[in-house]
Each structure stands twice: as C-alpha cells, then as structure tokens.
Amino acid sequence: MSTENKEKESLFSAKRRKLITDPLNDNNPVTVQVLGICSALAITVQLKPAFFMFLGVLTVIAMGNVIISLIRDLIPSRVRIIAQLVIVAGLVIIVDQVLKAFVYDVSKQLSVFVGLIITNCIVMGRLEAFAMANKPWPSFLDGVGNSLGYGIILMIVSIIREIFGAGTLTIPTGINTVYVLHVFPQSFYDLGYVNNGLMILPPMALIVVGMIVWAHMET
C-alpha cells in the first residue's frame, strides 16, 4: 500500500466511499446499466441460491479487479480482453471448485450458473472500465460496490419470487444450514390462498426485474 501513502488519501476517503455507494443506487449495474440480467432471472427462485450467487460474483469481481489492476501496466492493450477473460475464467473455476467442496447443495443448485459468472457482463465491464485504469485498492472497492449493487437486486427479486411463489423464505444461517420461514400461516391457505406458480418460472423474474427498474427510474 505504499502508493496509497504517497497520495495521502485515506483508505475510505469520500471519493472512495462513493465507489461503493454509487453502484448501490445511482449507478446500479442491474437496474441502471442493465447488466447481469441473465443470472438475475435464473437463480432468483429462492433466497439462498441468490445469496450464494452474490457471494460468488463478489469474490470474482473483487479479486478479478485487484489482479487486473496489479498487472494493468504489463497487459499489452492488443490482448487485454483475452487477458481479462483468462483471469475471470480462472477465478470462476476456483469459485466453482470451492463451492463443490464446501457448500455442495448450493453448488448443485447454482449448477451451470456458476460457470456463467464468466459471461456476466458486470465482471468484464468493471475490469475493462475501471481496473485497467485504476490502482488496486480503488479497484477492489469498485468491485465490492458493484457486486453489492448486483446482490441487492438479486435479494429483492428472490425474496419477492419466493414469498409469492412458494410461500416460504429460505434464510441461510450457515454454510449448509438454512432456516425456512413460512411466510403465510396455514389459516391463509385454508381460506383458499394459493401460491402463485408463475412466480417460480423465469418470465416472472423478468417482470419483477422490469418493475424494479421502473420503480428505480421513477424515484
């Protein structure tokens, strides 16, 4: 962090805090930049896989940003996209292997979508737009900020879909444990309430994401 001292800029200066807070709202990668929609549709049926997908993306973007930022002066600009791709793909495989070893259920649920983190536009977008031109620490913050922005949307969508689609909320309480909250009491169902099966299907995810984008644009 010697470069940090030279600049005399504190680790969490106002400018750097903005790197984290900006993507949460004003420059949200999903609702404003409309990136990473594919995975937002695929793994938001339940809260738990959405949460672990967020952790996976967080790891990949944060580490990818730092690594690319560290070697940004070494990367020839003609092959920079390939270099970014190799690093992201390597990180994603590492995340996949670690999930398979330590959180097997989650890895089964995420199945191919872990591999598809590689194609999540947010990852390459941040590497190309930020890490290639900034120092490691700001790049790290930018990665964390953007994956948080992505994660928030994932959480919101999955909570809505799970509550109305399955009537439950699976809150991860540990790596392999989960607390299943039954949102509606049995008396609700006795009165004739039925879970909405459409919520479980991908089209409804698109509609929910669309409504969130709309609500976000309006405010």
Partner 1 sequence: MNKENNVYIIVFSVIMVVVVGVSLAFVAQFTKPFQDANIRLEKMQNILSSVGIIVDRTTAEETYNKYITKSEVYKVDGSLQEGVDAFGIDLANELKKPEDQQLFPIYECKKEDGNYFILPMRGKGLWGPIWGYVSLKDDGITVAGAVFDHSGETPGLGAEISKAPFQEQFINKKIVDESGQFVSITVEKPGKLPEGYEYGVDGISGGTLTSVGVHNMLHRYLQAFRNYVEKNNILSPVTPTANITNDTLQLDSTTVITEQ
Binding site for partner 1 (CB under 8 A): 74-79, 82-83, 86-87, 90, 93-94, 97-98, 100-102, 104-105, 176
Which is nearer to partner 1, 73 or 190 (by Cβ)? 73
Q: Strand, coil or helix: what is 66?
A: helix
Judged by CB, which is closer to partner 1: 141, or 205?
Answer: 205
Minimum distance of partner 1 from residue 19's CB (angstroms): 27
Q: How many CB atoms lie under 10 A from the CB of residue 54?
A: 21
Q: What is each CA distance from 68 to 37, 54, 119, 207, in whole angstroms?
A: 24, 21, 17, 35
Residue 148 CA: distances (Å) to CA of 25, 168, 170: 10, 24, 20
State which residue, 185 or 202, has the beta carbon closest to partner 1. Answer: 202
Q: How far is the CB of 100 from partner 1 (least distance, A)?
A: 5
Give how far Cα 81 sits from Cα of 78, 84, 127, 155, Å.
Answer: 8, 5, 9, 30
User: What is the C-alpha to C-alpha distance for residues 202 and 6, in angstroms, rounded to an integer?
Assistant: 50
CB of 76 to partner 1, least distance (A): 5
Name the minimum Å distance from CB 141 to partner 1: 24
Give the shortest CB-183-to-partner 1 separation in angstroms: 23
Q: Would you say 87 or 212 has its CB closer to partner 1? A: 87
* Residue whose structure tokens are 């459409």: 198
Q: Which is nearer to partner 1, 61 or 87 (CB)?
A: 87
